[in-house]
Structure 1
Amino acid sequence: MEGISGALIDHFNNGYPAAFTSLYHQFYPSVFFYVKKIVTDVAQAEDITAETFIKFWNSRGHFENEKNIAAFLRTTARNASIDWLRKSKKHKEWASMFAHLNGVDVDMEFNEELRAEVLRLVQQEIDRLPPKVKRVFVLAYIYEKSNEEIAKILSIQNQSVRNHKARAIKQLRFSLTGKEMIILLPFFLKFGKF
């Protein structure tokens, strides 16, 4: 997998908006996925993710490499998610979840980081999909919409949704052949069904 260039990080640190936009597009899917796993509410996950990137922009000038950026985004998103759970009356069990999230469960931490990294890698290939295929894929696997919901949103037939999903998975499998396929296996096991 291609890493983030030092020049891009330098440009971001120096306040270039285009560098921020590039980093935003590369990291947004993994941050959103991570937040959504904690708060479960899609709209709230989008808000927390947006706030995370605002804090990221406001902290420019302090990042040395891709690992620093990923750690900052993850920690910021995690803290914001926990704060939201703490304040939310809808989540009466926040205390137990807070304890779970702050526990020293290395396996869980590794699995979440692995999922986030897989999603980031896959996002690069998703961006290369034809526009309608990409839209169906995102609605199905990021926003977890049913085939019927997607058909209604996009004003297409249910069979077209299935065809677009199948095409997306086929194209992703093909384009990712040879790119850390062992790491991507859990992704395909989860999303390989239509």
Structure 2
Amino acid sequence: MAIPTTPTDQQLVAQLREGNAAAYTQLFDRFQPTLYVYARKITKDKDEAADIVQEVFLYLWDKRDSIEFDHNILAYLYSAVRYKFFNLLDKKKVRLDYADSLKKYMQEGSPETDNLLREREMLRLIEEQISLLPPKLKLIYELSRKANMSTAHIAELLDVSEKTVQNQVSLAVKQLKMKLGALQLTGLFLSAEALAELMKKL
């Protein structure tokens, strides 16, 4: 039986696991343009998009002998791009939170209040609850709230209706608010004002 002149994705992945650099190059050439377009859509920044895609392929090579593909290679790479994107958002948020805290300290000349520390702990716990949302619900919520994407943009990106996006975001917010109320009962008591502000952030 003649060997196909163009190897399939599965054949390239098998060769990649064996450390075949040529297979890795072919995978890069095959999928990099598509992943870059996708990364540009979600980051809206060409440099960040290029960095994310590069990191994904570097990781693919570094972990080539241990990565397990539950789906096809392209689906895996799409997920990896999303993961890197949300990591980037989290890092930006940390930098902004640190800058805000430093500014507050410089203006007031005093350490953060106990209530602010409790609010930060509550936010940390909320992030944990976000991570426990069903995958698609979590993705839509994070694209809406963390990436600040419009309903239309998310619908186009995920190939669903805008109504579906709206319903999913509403469902996620409802679930998180219920969790927030439950967390408040664990001993992380905030003022009514602080609790109201947290609700606005969902």
Q: Please state which band the TM-score falls in when normalised by the shorter chain.
A: 0.3 to 0.5
TM-score normalised by length of structure 2: 0.43
